[in-house]
Amino acid sequence: MTAEIVSVGTELLLGQIVDTHAPTMARILADCGIACTHRQTVGDNLPRAVAALNDALRRADVVITIGGLGPTQDDLTREAIAEALGDTLESVPEELEKLRKLFALRKFHWVETNARQAMKPTSGRMIDNPNGTAPGLICEKDGKVVIALPGPRNEFDPMAGGAVREFLCRLEGGQVIHSRILRICGMGESLVEEKIRPLMEGLNPTVAPYAHPGEVHLRITARAASREIADRMIEPVEQKIRAILGDHVYGADTTSLEEAIIDILRERDQNVSVAESITGGLLGSRLTSVAGSGDAFLGGVISYAVSVKEAVLGVPHEVLERFGPVSPECAEEMALAAKRITGSDYAVSLTGNAGPTSDADGKPVGLVYIAVASPRGVTVEEVGLGGSRDDIRTRAAFTALTNLRSELLSVGV
Amino acid sequence: MTAEIVSVGTELLLGQIVDTHAPTMARILADCGIACTHRQTVGDNLPRAVAALNDALRRADVVITIGGLGPTQDDLTREAIAEALGDTLESVPEELEKLRKLFALRKFHWVETNARQAMKPTSGRMIDNPNGTAPGLICEKDGKVVIALPGPRNEFDPMAGGAVREFLCRLEGGQVIHSRILRICGMGESLVEEKIRPLMEGLNPTVAPYAHPGEVHLRITARAASREIADRMIEPVEQKIRAILGDHVYGADTTSLEEAIIDILRERDQNVSVAESITGGLLGSRLTSVAGSGDAFLGGVISYAVSVKEAVLGVPHEVLERFGPVSPECAEEMALAAKRITGSDYAVSLTGNAGPTSDADGKPVGLVYIAVASPRGVTVEEVGLGGSRDDIRTRAAFTALTNLRSELLSVGV
């Protein structure tokens, strides 16, 4: 079975945005054992989109479109699919009702063109889109399948990885390709690879490392007749990796580092607070991205200005005066202060210079101090981080999470 | 004149790498006034590559291939171009000599397949590649042009931006395509479109809306003999849009909303603080993502737990008791408290329920209160936001920025 992806959008053709959805879709197809043999990109132009779909339908069994499902005049993927399949468009009353209710709820102004999003080709059915107004489409006709996905990332990702992935994997019947990802922190990619090299020589399951900012993912992939059999093949390989890498494996599959930390804290009925300077709230934002984090994260202080470090957090004036805000002494005081004023069991602080230039005290770009206060005391780490302002802040937050987890595991219950 | 880009590489089709060369090439085409109307991606497969080139030659005047020019067996773009053009491949003795010398100089082992890189289709000529072993190609035949570029970034970028750009701009005799993006907040895509619809009917410049989370971008694109003339054509359209949408236009091109706000505050020598519950630091993180934000952002409190709202921020116990933490009253107290304890000119607070379930007080998912305290008082807005936990938090932060900017503009200097 072969598939072809058609990305729709003039902004793609003009090179104004980079197409990252098509690669995501291609990886999902590969996971489902379907070969993607061709990709096309067309603009918001009906005859060209129809011609591209006709070419794709001639070459492939499954055609997947991305983008052009919105409410405006230049969103015409729905029309193009209907024309290419020889269908007409029909309105789905329940969808229209749902749309109108959504607009009313959010107090958005209703414009009649929105009704187009409740239309579907006659041979199609809709895929629910809980994150936006345009549903996706699955059309089956004359032995061909056309699937339409919306363009906005927060709508595309869950739909592609959810309902569409499930549908595609069922299409290919027989074999499934199933993966498990082990997530590793506090160890670089080459060291991980060195430690598990013998396991990387297996053919089924395969083991492959992927570097991510601040962490490494190991993907264990098995090909088998069913998901259950694949799981049973993956299991012993996972156990070997865990035995080799120990506590560096912080989670599996979609577990994030902040989730792993919130889980530990909730289990122990303990909590954490933050005092953030360089990251300006990024660490708190990551911790609170976890549903249920309210049981384990109290909050803290964004002490970006020196005045807030002193007045709100209570860092002693002498410390700021003598060592400066970017110093191990200040980081330590910040963590202790956050723990004290929030009454938390643990506290993490960050202070540093994210650039783009050296700060007033001449501290270099990328220098960051991270302190962790715990029931047994306080530790400070100095790190030198590279990259853009954004990179430095992201890596600083990741290192803070890694250090907090490490302290949690050391202290124990 | 129209062009089509054909990217060649199985790793692209499998989604293992993201194609950033094609957008680069598309922008170069636009700059030279050549409309890119289609893009294709094919794997390292000769018949499929030839078919893709034939399709492209049928549709476009200029076909540009990227990748597949190297020395290995799966590099077959050269062969595919020759076949699609009805050419044969011939060896270029000077190129072969140059290659052999290069290998000797770098003490690389010479493998006979390297000689393929000294071959070209009979109707083609070579483009010098000072950064690698594979030269590029320009073939002109029967009124069509085929240009081949190598895949490695350090070879592609200088060749595309140098010799190829020059050749293409000469082809179209001077025309450039130039865009300006206006960034709009506080108004949905369909309403923006309704208000500026007459302007969207223009053919040169064109105006097109693009929806982004929480904001809308309007792209004005002109085609003209020079960048300066294009700018002069865009100017009156921009002024008309600004007149219609007023303060909803917060910036142009790459300016973010947080940058626009930091700019206003810095200009006025004023500053802002935050009190974040539902967003847990996301708003502070966005404001501090702007380089130089230290002049305008003091920090604030992440008052995630009720205890922190009361003890650190100083929200009166009675307010929390009587109205609950997700209430307009609490939002108002949070903003006033942040302003008071940090001594800032403005303060923004957010409290709400990001889900996934109703909170202890039974407040529904997506209900958020946003307060802005300013020198003239405090205002609170209630919003109902949809989507995932992440979406709700992202949109809440965006709405808070929108409301802060709106208050800044209302208060004035």
A241 with A249: CB under 8 angstroms? yes
Residues comprising chain B, all counted: 413
Q: Which residues are paired to B237 by β-bridges?
A: none
- What's the pLDDT score for residue A326? 97
Nearest Cα to A151, choosing from A19, A13, A4? Answer: A19
- Among A6, A14, A69, A350, the strongest candidate for a mutation testing the B interface, having the largest count of B CBs within 10 A, is A14
Is the preceding peptide bond at A325 cis, omega within 30 degrees of 0? no
Residues of B in contact with A73 (CB under 8 A): 193, 200
Is the preceding peptide bond at B356 cis, omega within 30 degrees of 0? yes
Residue with tokens 């940058």: B259
- Residue A336's φ and ψ, nearest 5 degrees, are -65, -40
Of B14, B17, B41, the CB nearest to A30: B14
> What is the rounded CA–CA span in Å between residue A255 and residue A184?
11
- Among A2, A7, A13, A293, the strongest candidate for a mutation testing the B interface, having the largest count of B CBs within 10 A, is A13
B186 touches chain A (CB under 8 A): no
- What's the pLDDT score for residue B279? 98
- What's the pLDDT score for residue B188? 86
A48 with A42: CB under 8 angstroms? yes
- Residue B196's φ and ψ, nearest 5 degrees, are -110, 15
Residues of B in contact with A12 (CB under 8 A): 23, 39
B390 touches chain A (CB under 8 A): yes
Tens digits of residue pLDDT in B314-360: 999 999 999 999 999 999 999 999 999 999 999 999 999 998 888 77
- What's the pLDDT score for residue B213? 74
Residues of A in contact with B388 (CB under 8 A): 130-131, 154, 158
Interface of A with B in 130-159 (CB under 8 A): 130-132, 152, 154, 158
| A303 contacts B299? CB cut-off 8 A | yes
Residue B294 CB coordination number (10 Å): 20
- What's the pLDDT score for residue A223? 80
Residues of A in contact with B194 (CB under 8 A): 111
Residues of chain B under the 70 pLDDT cut: 174
Tens digits of residue pLDDT in A115-126: 999 999 999 999
Tens digits of residue pLDDT in A213-264: 678 889 898 888 877 898 999 999 999 999 999 999 999 988 999 999 999 9
Residues of B in contact with A72 (CB under 8 A): 189-190, 193, 209
pLDDT over threshold 90, residue A178: no
Burial tier of B231 (Cβ tally within 10 Å: 0-12, 13-18, 19+):
middle
B360 touches chain A (CB under 8 A): no
Interface of A with B in 218-257 (CB under 8 A): none
Tokens standing for A250? 């912080």
B358 touches chain A (CB under 8 A): no
Mean pLDDT over all residues of chain A? 92
Tens digits of residue pLDDT in A256-302: 999 999 999 999 999 999 999 999 999 999 999 999 999 999 999 99
- What's the pLDDT score for residue B117? 92
- What's the pLDDT score for residue A355? 86
Strands (E) in A156-286, as ranges, are: 176-185, 206-212, 215-224, 249-252, 272-276
| B48 contacts A311? CB cut-off 8 A | no
Give the pLDDT band of residue A174 (cuts 50, 70, 90).
low
- Among A19, A41, A54, the strongest candidate for a mutation testing the B interface, having the largest count of B CBs within 10 A, is A41
pLDDT over threshold 90, residue A393: yes
- What's the pLDDT score for residue A261? 97
> What is the rounded CA–CA span in Å between residue B183 and residue B181?
6
A17 touches chain B (CB under 8 A): yes
> What is the rounded CA–CA span in Å between residue A23 and residue A187?
27
| B301 contacts A280? CB cut-off 8 A | no
Interface of B with A in 75-104 (CB under 8 A): none
- What's the pLDDT score for residue B270? 97
**DSSP H helical ranges for A187-226:** 189-196
What's the complex ipTM? Answer: 0.75
| B342 contacts A305? CB cut-off 8 A | yes
B10 touches chain A (CB under 8 A): no
pTM: 0.74
pLDDT over threshold 80, residue A189: no
- What's the pLDDT score for residue B174? 66
- Pairing mode, strands B272-276 and B297-303: parallel
Of A106, A287, A341, the CB nearest to B386: A106
> What is the rounded CA–CA span in Å between residue A378 and residue A346?
9
- What's the pLDDT score for residue B225? 83
**DSSP H helical ranges for B160-246:** 165-171, 189-200, 227-245
- What's the pLDDT score for residue A50? 97
Q: Smallest CA–CA separation between B73 and chain A, in Å?
A: 19
Torsion of CA B337, B340, B344, B347, to 10 degrees: 20
Residue with tokens 């600083």: A396
| B280 contacts A299? CB cut-off 8 A | yes
> What is the rounded CA–CA span in Å between residue A67 and residue A150?
5
Residue A320 CB coordination number (10 Å): 18
Cα-atom radius of gyration of chain A, to the nearest Å? Answer: 26
> What is the rounded CA–CA span in Å between residue B150 and residue B163?
13
Tens digits of residue pLDDT in B226-281: 888 999 999 999 999 999 999 999 999 889 999 999 999 999 999 999 999 999 99
| A280 contacts B285? CB cut-off 8 A | yes
- What's the pLDDT score for residue B387? 82
Considering only A21-35, A146-160, B254-268, which range has the smallest mean pLDDT? A21-35
Residue A61 CB coordination number (10 Å): 15
Residues of A in contact with B16 (CB under 8 A): 23, 27
B297 touches chain A (CB under 8 A): yes
